[in-house]
């Protein structure tokens, strides 16, 4: 059996680096507030900062790509649209060239033109929280 990395499946070194990162992130504070539903939440910016600095310290790049976008009518009283985005997140180890691809979905509702961006933000935020097992 070869130790050569297989595209799309990651390699041993990349997996070890990602495991180290997961073990180092202790928690991310809930600095955001959803005033409409009245709950505190982790902001995308805080989560990205907690993960990005650890990725870049290990020469790992995370590249997002959109695989599919679907829309459907949402709340009729607000004439909103619900947008769902299927994404692939690729981790690239710049030291070895190893890659790991993971898929994730996000959904966003908006009466204007922000549904796709809400879906993208939700996909990224929850992918990072779940991939790195970030307690909140």
What's the pLDDT tens digit per position in 75-87? 777 778 999 999 9
pLDDT at 1: 44
Q: How many Cβ atoms from other residues are within 10 Å of residue 10's Cβ?
A: 21
Question: Is there a contact between 60 and 17 (Cβ–Cβ < 8 Å)?
Answer: yes
pTM score, two decimals?
A: 0.83
Structure tokens at 73: 């009518």
* pLDDT averaged over every residue in the chain: 89
The pLDDT of 61-81, averaged and rounded, is 90
pLDDT classification of 135: cutoffs 50, 70, 90: confident
Which tens digit of pLDDT belongs to each residue from 16-48?
A: 999 999 999 989 999 999 898 899 999 999 999
Rounded Cα–Cα distance for residues 105 and 127 (Å): 8
pLDDT at 5: 47
Looking at the chain, the whole-number percentage of residues with pLDDT higher than 90 is: 79
pLDDT at 11: 60
Nearest to 86 by CA among 99, 68, 70, 62: 68
């Amino acid at each position: 059996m070869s130790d050569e990395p297989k595209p799309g499946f990651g390699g041993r070194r990349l997996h070890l680096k990602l495991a180290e990162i997961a073990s180092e992130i202790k928690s991310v504070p809930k600095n955001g507030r959803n005033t409409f539903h009245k709950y505190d939440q982790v902001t995308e910016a805080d989560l990205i900062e907690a993960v990005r600095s650890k990725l870049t310290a290990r020469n790992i790049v995370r590249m997002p790509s959109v695989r599919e976008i679907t829309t459907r009518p949402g709340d009729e009283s607000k004439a909103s649209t619900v947008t769902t985005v299927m994404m692939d997140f690729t981790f690239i180890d710049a030291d070895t060239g190893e890659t790991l691809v993971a898929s994730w979905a996000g959904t966003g509702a908006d009466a204007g033109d922000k549904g796709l961006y809400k879906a993208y933000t939700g996909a990224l935020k929850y992918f990072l929280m779940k991939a790195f097992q970030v307690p909140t």
